[in-house]
Amino acid sequence: MSFRSLVGVSSGRYLLLGNEAIARGALEGGLGFAAAYPGTPSSEILESLISVKDAVGIYAEWSVNEKVAFEAAYGASLAGVNALTAMKHVGMNVAADPLMSSAYTGVEGALVIVTADDPSMHSSQNEQDNRWYGVHAYIPVFEPFDADEAKKMTKYVFEFSRRFKHPVILRTTTRVSHSRGVVELGPIPEVRIKGKFNKEDRYVVIPANARKNKIKLLEKWDAISEVVNELPFNKVEGDGKKLIIASGSAYGYVIEALDYFKIRDKVRVLKIGTPVPLPKKILIEAAEEVDKILVVEELDSLVETNVKSVLHDSRIEAEVRGKDLVGYEFELNHSRVRKAIAKFLDLDYSVPQTPNQPVVSVPTRIPTLCPGCPYRPLFFELRRLVNQEKIPYIASGDIGCYSLGYNPPYRMQDIIIEMGSSIGVGYGLSITTDDNVIAIIGDSTFYHAGLPPLVNAVWHKKPLIVIVLDNEVIAMTGHQPAPSSKDGKETRYIPIENVVTGFGVRFVEVIDPYDIKTVREVVKKALSYVREVKEPAVIIARRKCALEVVRDLRRAGVEIVPYVVLEDKCIGCGICYDWFVCPAIIPGSNKKAWIDPELCIGCSACAQVCPTKAIVPQKEYNKEEVEKFWR
């Protein structure tokens, strides 16, 4: 059953994705307002809420970035409305400024901040452990171990946040967010989306008020630190002289491992659902009379360090093991946890081998842009231009589908560090090197974090080319809308050229990235401009994401005509499959190209790069009719 179809269901057990369980828990907890910026593995939380917003009557939106989403949710909570914001772990860095002060002011309605961390960096630039934000900001961190607990915990943290008038962090990881589990549903209460803002000094964090806020924050923190000892999410199971402490998702691995070794009732287990603050009383009780403790947690040694500190202060002399057996990096898995427990308890264990496992040789596949992706002709032509004219350049890259431009053969992303950094880092390089700096950024990323560095570059008049790859959607995370999206019903389209012109950029060109000749001409013009005028130049390469176009064509019943290679004309030069590299184009044993009709979406871009005009449509079709869907 879909998430949406469960809106009217108020009891029973259903299979939900972890992120859907969080969304459901929020609805059952009395959510009225939700705002987020998409990022894997968090995106399905707001996707789910948006899918039911009209049916339930809540307000839900994709915001322009995580800071704005956080501030919007914080503002709603100050009016007494229960609010949620969700983001991937690195998004929390963007929202960190208001996050830190929100603990000082406190809130009125609930404010729940979901951070979905990504151990092993399946789709992220780092694997920072966001539990530290709770320590840093004095905000309690709740951490579920599976989908059912994610729902229960989310529902509960709304009540908790309201009770203490304090923000709460709900931290998940990829395995919890993206695993399905059976979830017990409850009723969704009546929604409240309007409230009243009561003017109080605590909300104005001038130093005199902020000092008072800090004293109150510490008092509140003491109360919260007591209450976490009473929560059902922190509990002791089993008995024995050995204690295993497991936080968040680690609990599931530990239970499975104890069952595997058939020693579930012989070992004491302390399940931690609130790593920040740690339930000290429960910990001390659990640690009494044990001689050895193993702490199992994903990523950093946050719980382990605190356990050692609490035991030291309480003069409990048990030996504490943890990261020395479990390791700091990457996701936990069953064999890793079993191995650590086996060492800790002196058990025999070796990773089981699957008998007679067939050896399968899988060809290496570099992640690549989709067939018909409008970024491909642009990367192709940029690479060809700098190679042919020996132009010294630095391609300052960014986060998005176009990060794939780092891969060969394009190699047009020399630095990628975080959202919006292409312009900021490129700006620094434009001052300190003699190379031509080309910052390459997507439309959504531009609105997310590209505006301030571009203002800075215009203000300081520095020679920098900015290419905005405008496919009119947040493609990488699942096609969420951005200010550059044209078909919003409740939102307004903001053309990027209007914004950059308003910023004072004097070289602004909007081009079609499929028009390879124009790409070359305009980039060359921009290179001359920045060299001579010493100011930023902005090129907006606009064409819709190919996946959106294919979906729209299919919905409209318009036939997609694939392209084919005329064998007698093909000379096997390899330009289309070695340099242009559409995944639909495959070299034959005679080096001649062949186009897979199942993959080709008939975008026509490759026809421009073939020197012998060997690539043609399979049959005549109405180009104008199809072209309308691309714009």
**Residues in touch with ligand SF4 (CB under 6 A):** 371-372, 563, 565, 570-576, 582, 584-585, 592-593, 595, 600-606, 610, 612, 614-615
Give the 3-state secondary structure of residue 247: strand
CB 403 within 8 A of CB 368: no
Quick one: 22 or 575, whose CB is closer to ligand SF4? 575
Quick one: 254 or 575, whose CB is closer to ligand SF4? 575
CB of 594 to ligand SF4, least distance (A): 9
CB of 612 to ligand SF4, least distance (A): 5
CB of 376 to ligand SF4, least distance (A): 7
- Give 51's contacts (C-beta < 8 A, 6+ positions apart): 2, 3, 4
- Give 296's contacts (C-beta < 8 A, 6+ positions apart): 244, 245, 246, 247, 250, 253, 254, 322, 326, 332, 337, 340, 341
Quick one: 12 or 588, whose CB is closer to ligand SF4? 588
Characterize the bridge pairing of strands 465-470 and 436-442: parallel
Q: DSSP assignment of 454-486, as one string?
A: HHHHHHTT---EEEEEE-SSBTTTT-B--TT-S
CB of 577 to ligand SF4, least distance (A): 6
CB of 537 to ligand SF4, least distance (A): 28
Mark out the alpha helices in 37-90 (DSSP H runs): 44-56, 66-78
Rounded Cα distance between 266 and 278, Å, is 24
CB of 121 to ligand SF4, least distance (A): 30
CB 119 within 8 A of CB 299: yes
CB 621 within 8 A of CB 559: yes
- Paired tokens of 168: 């709460």
Radius of gyration of the CA atoms of the chain, in A: 28
CB of 547 to ligand SF4, least distance (A): 12
CB of 548 to ligand SF4, least distance (A): 14
Rounded Cα distance between 440 and 438, Å, is 6
CB of 626 to ligand SF4, least distance (A): 11
Quick one: 496 or 582, whose CB is closer to ligand SF4? 582
Quick one: 505 or 561, whose CB is closer to ligand SF4? 561
Rounded Cα distance between 187 and 193, Å, is 18
Quick one: 318 or 595, whose CB is closer to ligand SF4? 595
Quick one: 158 or 375, whose CB is closer to ligand SF4? 375
Quick one: 310 or 573, whose CB is closer to ligand SF4? 573
Quick one: 488 or 572, whose CB is closer to ligand SF4? 572
Quick one: 425 or 606, whose CB is closer to ligand SF4? 606
Quick one: 194 or 613, whose CB is closer to ligand SF4? 613
Q: How many other C-beta atoms lie within 10 A of the C-beta of residue 184?
A: 12
- Paired tokens of 42: 């968090």
Rounded Cα distance between 60 and 63, Å, is 9
CB 629 within 8 A of CB 553: yes
Q: DSSP assignment of 389-451, as one string?
A: TT--EEEE--SSGGGGGGSTTT---SB--STTHHHHHHHHHHHH-SSEEEEEEEHHHIIIIIH
CB 483 within 8 A of CB 554: no
CB of 362 to ligand SF4, least distance (A): 23
CB of 442 to ligand SF4, least distance (A): 20
Quick one: 37 or 379, whose CB is closer to ligand SF4? 379
CB of 602 to ligand SF4, least distance (A): 5
CB of 565 to ligand SF4, least distance (A): 5
CB 569 within 8 A of CB 561: no
| Segment holding 260, helix H or strand E | helix 250-260
Quick one: 56 or 570, whose CB is closer to ligand SF4? 570
Rounded to the nearest 10 degrees, how much is the dihedral formed by the CA atoms of 203, 25, 157, 211?
-20
Beta bridge partners of 118: none
CB of 519 to ligand SF4, least distance (A): 15
Q: DSSP assignment of 218-237, as one string?
A: HHHHHHHHHHGGG-TTSEEE
CB 17 within 8 A of CB 179: yes
Quick one: 440 or 610, whose CB is closer to ligand SF4? 610
